[in-house]
Chains A and B, each alone.
Chain A
Amino acid sequence: MKAKKLIWQLYPSYLLVIFIALILLVIYSSSAFKTFYLAQTSNDLRARTLLMETQVTPYFKSREFLKLRALISEQGQKTSTRFTMVDLKGEVLVDSDERPEKMDNHAQRPEIVQALSGNWGMATRYSRTLRTRMLYVAKAIQLDNQIVGVMRSSIPINDLDETLNGLMKKTILWGVLISIFSAMVGFFVSRKISQPIQEFAMGADEISTGNFEFQLPVPNTQEFKQLADAFNNMSFQIKDRIQTVLDHVSEKETILSTMIEGVITVDVDGAITTMNQSAKTYFCIESDDVKGRSVGEVVRNTAIQTMIHQALASNELVQEDIALLHPQKLILHGHGMALKNAKQECVGALIVLHDITRIKRLEKMRQNFVANVSHELKTPITLIKGFLETLFRSDFEDKNETEEFLTIIQDHTIRLESIIDDLLSLSKIEQEQENKWIETERDCMNEVIERAIVLCQKKAHQKALNIKFESESGKKVMAKMNVSLMEQAVINLLDNAIKYSSDNAQIDVLLAQSSGENIVSVRDQGCGISQEHIPHLFERFYRVDAARSRELGGTGLGLAIVKHIAESHSGRVSVTSEENKGSQFSIYIPMTHHKEEKNV
């Protein structure tokens, strides 16, 4: 049903009230007027009847009806009244307007009947004789206290009807005018009532579209004013509350998005309600539109799905390690918990994922390290022990054999010593690095590198290698560093380069500066390293080819030491390598040390 406008509800009722009032007024006033008019006219007629009676009585007594008729006709014409005289039987004796012979018997006429009983008779009736409505008044004529006939006078009352009609027409005219006027008044009044209501509706619309700044104009009707004040207050309160809610939401979103942990929340059907950036990164999800989609669609991983199901089904905290193979290799530790509403009903689940790949890797490295150290120390000791036992059993008889064995034992002892030396220096550097304290002095890098080259020259000569040193700038480069550590780092790199180069090859040492860093690079033309080993090269005891390394006298710690030395100088290391073409190891030491010194 279409809603009607307020004005169309108000106006018809106005109109109805006005019409009923008018009609009642007309009915009452016309009847009152009629009664009054008839009373007036009948009184008048009575007076005339009485006057006539005195004139008529003598003729009546003498029964001179011809004279009587002349008198009545004359008087009737003068007063525009009709006079009629009737005897006791109702026969018309004289009439002012009509011949008596033509008239009916009047005995049954109500006014005559009343008059004969001794009272005034009165009636209004349509006269067929004169074809008009008449008012009749009748009185008995008495001679010597004896009723002998009736004297009746009558007068047409057309005037009355005309007057009443006129009155009716005027009333209707006024009624129409008043209803037009009342329509106008009703229109204005209802508009005055409905306008604030429309404004309220508009205001409510504005608020529902989110414009909480909207304030209603305050009307001057008391009730509407209260309503408008309440409304404005409400919109202010809502704005305030919504702002609080929005603040909470944005705070929550900021917290979620900056969290390193991946957070996923789902509803009871397993559709995602929140998924933060970290979680998306774990599963390599690029699309922003994950809300409302099921977890299975977005994350194709059964472990996560199982975890969500468990979390939804249980009241306990669910914990599990999840190993991802794709889209990237990750080990995640997940915590899952059902989300409850105020009625303790489950409304969803929350999954928090920690990336523990690094921790797991470090754990593994530590395990490997202990195993490796034991293994590295065990090998020479087993050999030494074996040869010593042989020596004891042989009673040192064969001098050559004894010498040979002792040489082997010496070699392995040296090897053992070098491993332990390396381990000690590594732990020393590590400690110093941890305490952020290494002794540094300002020195010339060129000299450090040259000294290292001189120390390695002997080994290089054995393989007929040529070590070439070049400084990019051609000038001496000063840097703040721990000279002995830096020298050791360069020696370690050169040592590796010499070990893995074939005879007659060339080794280039380059000192360069780039973007605030001093770079020392050692490039060989050896066998190179395949890509898969490169990330692990600087780990302790990591060897590309264990047997070969041991054969060449490596401890497996050289590069680890280089890395730690670089890091203790706030620097870093890098390696580029191509199989069968050679490798280049670089140490990057930031120049800030140098600048700081200048400022001091």
Chain B
Amino acid sequence: MSSPLEKAIKDLNVMFLNYCAEVEQNVHLAVQSFMKTEPKNIQIVMDKDRQIDQLEIAIEEECLRIMAVYQPLAKDLRFIVGILKMNNDLERIGDLAVNIVKKVTVFSDRDIRLSEYGGAFFLPEMIQKSLNMLKKSLDSFTQQDPELAREVCLIDDEVDALKQEMKVLVLNKMKESPEQISTLSSILRNSYHLERISDLSTNIAEDVIYWVDGDIIRHGGFAHSSS
């Protein structure tokens, strides 16, 4: 026995899970294409991103429709608000995937492979960490597990630190060999993109905590007293 609201929320959940999967897969494809310099994947990633944008609009409209028709309360309302926010964040992550994969051309045009290029600085570690954050934040959503979400918020600092260290190293390398500036800057830019992905994953994790516990932990836990 499920009410129309429950049914609508269940359908929205299925829709959103599918959207999450699309975004996550696209990010993985983009990152791997960049690391292995596979220009044939650029178009695939970009096409997928267009689909993701369509899904984003569909989800937003569905959220608004549910709010208008059923006027949900408490956890249901938080769920829909959470979905609306995560929806935005995931769409941004999808755009970042496109930005990352576009940098493949910088290497493929010069007929070099990043793997043969003599190291990608901390890029592999950053990829591993930020994609893990994305995975965990989405897992915390599917498993409704605020503990997992809190773990995600902790890894964010590690990615920030890696980005800072990497920036110093890449800038030094640029000074040493100015002829490599375009490739080096694409590596640096992608490290920034990855850092953004980890930030957005943190946002998603915070939204999960808000949805499950009703706590707003953004900006140092401002609204703890309200719980």
Contacts and interface: CB of A to CB of B under 8 A. Distances in A.
B17 interface: yes
B71 interface: no
A297 B20 CA distance: 10
Interface in A410-454: none
Interface in B5-48: 13-14, 17-18, 20-22, 24-25, 28-29, 32
A297 B25 contact: no
A514 to B, nearest CB: 33
Contacts of B25: 301-302, 325-326
Interface string A296-321: 11101110010000000000000000
B18 A326 contact: no
Contact of B24 (A293, A298, A326): A326
Contacts of B115: 532
Contact of B14 (A294, A325, A327, A532): A294
Contacts, number: 41
Given A298-B142, A301-B25, A326 B17 contact: no
A270 interface: yes
A325 B32 CA distance: 8
B189 interface: no
Interface string A527-568: 000001000000000000000000000000000000000000
Contacts of A302: 18, 21-22, 25
Contacts of A300: 17, 20-21, 24, 135, 138, 142
Contacts of B20: 300
Interface string B142-153: 110000000000
A437 B21 CA distance: 51
Interface in B120-159: 131, 135, 138, 142-143
Nearest to A289: B143
A296 B16 CA distance: 9
Nearest to B15: A296
A300 B24 CA distance: 8
Interface string A262-296: 00000000100000000000000001000001101
Nearest to A297: B142
A514 B197 CA distance: 48
Given A270-B14, A326-B135, A532-B115, A301 B28 contact: no
Contacts of A296: 14, 17-18, 21, 142
Contacts of A325: 25, 28-29, 32
Given A298-B142, A300-B138, A305 B21 contact: yes
A294 B20 CA distance: 14
Contacts of B32: 325
A294 B14 CA distance: 8
A11 to B, nearest CB: 44
Q: Which of B13, B25, B115 has the most CB of A within 10 A?
A: B25
A293 B18 CA distance: 14
Contacts of B135: 300, 326-327
A326 B142 contact: no
Nearest to B23: A300
A326 B22 CA distance: 12
Contacts of B22: 302
A543 to B, nearest CB: 12
A301 B21 contact: yes
Contacts of B28: 325-326
A121 to B, nearest CB: 89
Contacts of B18: 296, 302, 305
A341 B135 CA distance: 37
A536 to B, nearest CB: 12
Most buried by A among B18, B22, B138: B18
Contact of A294 (B17, B24, B29, B138): B17
20 contacts: A270-B14, A287-B143, A294-B13, A294-B17, A296-B17, A296-B21, A296-B142, A297-B142, A298-B142, A300-B21, A300-B142, A301-B25, A302-B18, A302-B21, A305-B21, A325-B25, A325-B28, A326-B28, A326-B131, A532-B115
Given A297-B143, A302-B25, A326-B25, 19 more contacts: A270-B14, A287-B143, A294-B13, A296-B18, A296-B142, A297-B17, A297-B142, A300-B142, A301-B25, A302-B18, A302-B21, A302-B22, A305-B21, A325-B25, A325-B29, A326-B24, A326-B28, A326-B131, A326-B135
Pairs of residues from A and B, 6 with the lowest C-beta to C-beta distance, nearest first: A296-B17, A325-B28, A297-B142, A300-B21, A326-B28, A302-B21
